[in-house]
Amino acid sequence: MIAGGYTGRILRANLTTKTFAEETLDERLAREYIGGAGFGIYYLYHEVPAKADPLGPENKLIFASGPLCGTDAPCASRMSVTGKSPLTGAVGMAMTGGHFPAELKFAGYDAMIIEGVADEPTYLLIKNGKVLFRNARHLWGMSSFDCQHFIKNELKDEGLRIACIGPAGENLSRLAAIINERHAAGRKGLGAVMGSKNLKAIAVRGDDPVPIADKEAFTKAKTRMLKAMKESPVLYPAFAKLGTPMVVEASWGLGTLPAKNWTATGEWSPNGRIDVESNDKHRVTNEYCYQCPVGCSQLKMVRGGKHKGAVSVPEFESMYCFGSHTGVESLDPIILADRICDELGIDSISAGVTVGFAMELFERGIITAKDTDGLELKFGNGDAMVEMIRKMAMKEGFGALFADGVRAAAERIGGDAGLYAQHVKGLEMPGYDVRGLKAHGLSLATAYTGADHNRGYAFQEVFGIPEPYPVDRFAIEGKGKLTRWNQDARCVTCDCAPMCAFLMDMAVPGIALENTADLVNGVSGLGLTPREVELAGERVNNLAKAFNTREGFTRADDILPARLMTEPIKEGASKGQYIPQEDLDSMLDEYYEDRGWTKDGRLTKGKLEELNLRVVAEELARAGLI
């Protein structure tokens, strides 16, 4: 029995049989995987068979938080959603914040495993240990915001926290997201998995506080973290006031803001268009996740013109995917596009990147107005962007062609279209032109979810933070080792413990593992060393790699989009930079060696056994995969 931090219970709900069961959390699972993504990937690997159809009944969705979630540890209301991604075919894991993660703990569960397929639209109500399967036929087709409102009204409980899908998930768009409040487990198409299960929503409510094992130790750890936050040179007041759009400034400075489907990085200026001053003019207020003193979410509103009144919380990535990437120069359509993505339940990054991809195809004449239902899909056309997103989510007209992202669209269109598709393993690229950020590029090439900036964010290169050591962003040497550290430390600290990723960069980069160990030990009494915490991160990344190996992924999949490997950046502070195959190979060699994998990127029996993954080693050996 774990003394605190965990509720000790895992909920397993089967939609086919409309039955549920409670399982006891194994202490070994807690010690070795901590929580969150660790739990999700553990169950994914062991319970979803190889080559399962991501949109079929064998796939599962695992919602999991960690021991810090629901306590008053700062910025820890985070939760992973894990399943096999219908977008990539690899591990699909996305994090979300807000209040739902903490509420799931208060309702009594560290994790819930959703399996099977309901025979009709269904939603789950989980309230203080009771689990009900409710008919959702009347909610099918509803936007995510209306769905949340409707369920609260129907159940006469404004305190419910709800995660749901919009029409994109119902329509099985492989870009579909799961929305809770204004937050999203956005990437990798997990909303489509939920839609494939006929599961419209999950509503949770609970009153049980999360027990604390060692209040004195927890208070001490929490005090140190709050002190680090207070002493951060950027968290207060800058980040609390400006939020993630601050990164537009860094990206402009470094010449790494991708523009016009990555053809105009360093040429297209965000200044006066999507920079912090432009954002600040639209800011209404801050929104806070549970137990967050920062409130970086910036609610913004369009104050005039034809989109007047549109409200959303666009982050830096929205400035990129709906702004620089598409060449749209005004925040108004960006705010509206962000709003529509949340309402219809489609991942904003992937949707925006797909629009920018279509724009380049249009400008090159590969597709024409005949193919786009008459839309003039030129760079900079904000109205066309908004309309295309709506069509993608609804799979209406030409939107159906692009509704599954750039890789699928390129395959459907054929010819040279694939040359202009910006993705890794099928996941659309986030807003960092990694030609000028080499470790960040290596992480996108090797992350178990594809081009996912949150799996190994190289804050050393983007922000110049010298932890665990300073690095030259243009250098190749040393980036393999750094990427391994970034992926493992971030995984355990942010995705498992869990903790908001922004704190890792801005408050505790130099003490991340020690800070995580002390907080987790304070709430749980597990007595983990910082080294054991780091090993948990390494274990999760290796188990995710094992899942992907079983699905057929190899070194050949650890690659970047063709443009980044052949075309140097033409202007700006990263002019001349790119990552040719030989540089990527050099970084991959170092990365695999530091990971203890083979030169061709395969897991090894020795490494898996060192991480107490003997069963996995035996299974992969039997299949001839190690």
Partner 1 sequence: MRLHVRSVLDVAHVLGGKEHILDMDEGAAVGGLISLLLARYGDPLEALLLQSRDPMELLPHVKVYVNGRGVDFIDGLYTALRDGDDVLLMPQIGGG
Q: Decide if residue 415 touches partner 1 (CB under 8 A).
A: no
Q: Hey, which bits of 397-471 come out as E strands? A: 423-424, 427-428
Q: Decide if residue 436 touches partner 1 (CB under 8 A).
A: yes
The residue within the footprint of partner 1, chosen from 50, 155, 226, 573 (CB under 8 A), is 573
The residue within the footprint of partner 1, chosen from 20, 43, 218, 316 (CB under 8 A), is 316
Distance between CA 437 and CA 473 in Å, rounded? 5
**Least distance in Å: CB of 299 to partner 1?**
16
Helix (H) or strand (E) holding 305: none
Are the beta carbons of 229 and 223 closer than 8 angstroms?
no
The residue within the footprint of partner 1, chosen from 91, 235, 377, 533 (CB under 8 A), is 235
Q: Decide if residue 574 touches partner 1 (CB under 8 A).
A: yes
Using CB under 8 A, count the residues that bind partner 1.
47
Q: Which one-letter DSSP state was computed for residue 385?
A: H
**Least distance in Å: CB of 279 to partner 1?**
12
The residue written with tokens 């999700």 in the block is 40
Are the beta carbons of 389 and 351 closer than 8 angstroms?
yes
Q: Decide if residue 250 touches partner 1 (CB under 8 A).
A: yes
Q: Decide if residue 247 touches partner 1 (CB under 8 A).
A: yes
Of 357 and 457, the one with the shorter C-beta distance to partner 1 is: 457
User: Binding pattern to partner 1, positions 478-517, x when CB under 8 A?
Assistant: ------------------------x--xx-----------
SS3 593: helix
Distance between CA 496 and CA 498 in Å, rounded? 5
Written as six digits, the tokens of 578 are 């790119």
Of 359 and 444, the one with the shorter C-beta distance to partner 1 is: 444
Q: Which one-letter DSSP state was computed for residue 112?
A: E
Of 575 and 605, the one with the shorter C-beta distance to partner 1 is: 575
| Stretch of 26-34, 392-400, 430-438, 611-619 contacting partner 1, by CB under 8 A | 430-438
Instruction: Give CA 26 to chain center in angstroms.
Output: 27
Q: Decide if residue 578 touches partner 1 (CB under 8 A).
A: no
SS3 525: coil
Residues 169-228 that bind partner 1 (CB under 8 A): none
Residues 440-469 that bind partner 1 (CB under 8 A): 453, 457, 459, 462-466
Burial-class residue 486 by CB neighbours within 10 Å (0-12, 13-18, 19+).
buried
| Stretch of 57-65, 420-428, 516-524, 568-576 contacting partner 1, by CB under 8 A | 568-576
Of 43 and 239, the one with the shorter C-beta distance to partner 1 is: 239
Q: Decide if residue 252 touches partner 1 (CB under 8 A).
A: yes
Of 204 and 437, the one with the shorter C-beta distance to partner 1 is: 437
Q: Decide if residue 267 touches partner 1 (CB under 8 A).
A: no
| Stretch of 65-73, 231-239, 421-429, 613-621 contacting partner 1, by CB under 8 A | 231-239
Distance between CA 469 and CA 75 in Å, rounded? 25
Count of Cβ atoms closer than 10 Å to residue 519 Cβ: 28
The residue written with tokens 């130099």 in the block is 510
The alpha carbon torsion through 180, 181, 187, 190 (nearest 10 deg) reads 20
Distance between CA 467 and CA 512 in Å, rounded? 10
Residues recorded for the chain: 626
Binding site for partner 1 (CB under 8 A): 232-235, 238-239, 243-247, 249-250, 252-255, 271, 276, 296, 315-317, 431-432, 436, 453, 457, 459, 462-466, 470, 472-475, 502, 505-506, 572-575, 577
